[in-house]
Chains A and B, each alone.
Chain A
Amino acid sequence: MSSEHISNDNAAGTQPAVALSEVVRHFGRFAAVREVTADFAPGRLYVVLGENGAGKSTLLRMMAGLLQPTRGTIRILGETDIRAVATRMGYMGHAPLLYDELDAMENLRYFAGLYSIHDDRVCAAAIERVGLNPELKRRVGQYSQGMRQRASLARAILHNPELLLLDEPFSNVDVKSAHEMARLLGAMRDEGKTVFVVTHQAAVMEPVADESIVMHTGRLIAREQGIPQSLLSPYARPSEVRR
């Protein structure tokens, strides 16, 4: 298998926020991620595109430290020990990663404690930032899917991370809310944060995306500035894009 090194021109002279070197991940005999080598400059918003099973979520989970690569090295914010940079990184998964029996404020208060944040105002600010009301006493289990996604985003950003990894943040979110979330992510990028968004809704991210990363059958097959017109249609096949 050949490895491909795809680097970002803008990264010259700066330490990459994420550096992947020949990263491989197998599940049994199935190779979910194959020989991915790439550097990602800090302060940019990356949109990871690809069909189902392309390896996007697996790659993101490895970057978050939730999965270990079978082979290869992942360097996050200059560290290979991902736990060492846990306070500087935020992760939002497919699922909400919140307790259904608690309201948003209770959830965030608990998770804030894990990051040594004991100020309720920080939690309230994160909830407000995603467009929810911190006074809302309804339990997360009774939220709409869109509200859950927003609350989940609030949890991921509450400790003001430098690197944000978001897996399908717009799934089941209405178009207006999705665009609001995308604008928020753009604003976070403008503050200097590095944002990775795995999504099938490229059009939502188009106004704010710096770069699109296309994966196919576990390989990183293309990197483009912004999101190419050909990928904006909901019927686009990212695998047909080539460098």
Chain B
Amino acid sequence: MSILGVTQRTLRKDLRLEWRSKDAINSMLFFALLVVVIFSFAFDPTAEESRHIAGGLIWVAFLFAAVVALNQTWARELRNQVLDAYRVSPAPATALFLAKALGNFLFVVVLEALMAPLFVVFYNLRSVGPVYQLLVVGALGTWALVVNGTFFAAMSIRTRSREIMLPLILFPISIPALLAMVDATTSILTGSASPAFWIRLLAIYDLVFTTVCLSLFETVLNAE
């Protein structure tokens, strides 16, 4: 069976599982909401100050919330050892990885779509730069988080404290991407500089890590 065919089937199955259990989306939403509310109590910024700090706040909130979803990704494959059924099948490992990464991407995008209006309200945000650029940064930044997150979550599934392991591995490796996301978002919100450099950096980061993760995933899946 083709990689795309298996990816599509696995993604559809994961979306159905999530629709029925709502494990990831509920915990992510609750977590992100808490971060927004706590930050809004901690800071009381003016509209101008908001534009300067919002990039960091938004991406930290999304990063923390994404970790919750990423931990769930493989947890449901470990329940009943379903992953073994995939491993003994002839289906390619890369298809499983792509489906999981795309599924996580969709979950985090849904979260971002729901949380963005709250950020606008709580932090009185108004963008000076073109808003469409935020969509590009959002898509590239989210992919950067989920592609590495999906990979490292798979790496940590056989460790005893995998929920602690994931952020310990993911956060340091995400620093270049986070820096690019935060600076690009701040540049767009304040209109102070062009975000082109940061967007290019994010695109390169995505390309490099997607390639590395795809090529190493089979080894990780079958590691003992």
Interface residues of A, Cβ cutoff 8 Å to B: 64-68, 83, 86-87, 89-91, 93-102, 106, 110-111, 113-116, 139, 155
For B89, the chain A residues whose CB sits under 8 A away are 86, 111, 114-115
> Once the chains are docked, how many angstroms separate the CA of A2 from the CA of B27?
55
Q: List B residues 1-38 near A (Cβ within 8 Å).
A: 1, 5-6, 9-10, 13, 16-17, 20-21
Smallest Cβ-Cβ distance to B17: which chain A residue? A101
Given A97-B82, A99-B80, residue A110 in contact with residue B90 (CB < 8 A): no
Q: B197 at the A/B interface (Cβ < 8 Å)?
A: no
Number of A-B contacts (CB under 8 A): 71
Choose among B6, B21, B81, B90 the residue that contacts A97 (Cβ–Cβ < 8 A): B81
Enumerate chain B interface residues (CB-CB to A < 8 A): 1, 5-6, 9-10, 13, 16-17, 20-21, 76, 79-82, 84-91, 222, 224
A96 to chain B: which residues have CB within 8 Å? 80
Check B5–A113 contact: CB distance below 8 A.
yes
Subset of 18 A-B contacts with CB under 8 Å = A64-B88, A65-B87, A66-B87, A66-B88, A67-B224, A83-B90, A86-B90, A89-B88, A90-B88, A97-B85, A98-B82, A99-B76, A101-B21, A102-B13, A110-B13, A113-B9, A114-B91, A115-B1
| Residue contact A115 to B90, C-beta cutoff 8 Å | yes
CA distance A196 to B82 in the complex (A): 20
Cβ contacts under 8 Å, A101 to chain B: 16-17, 20-21
CA distance A145 to B87 in the complex (A): 23
In whole Å, how far is A241's beta carbon from the nearest beta carbon of chain B? Answer: 30
Smallest CB gap from A87: residue in B: B90
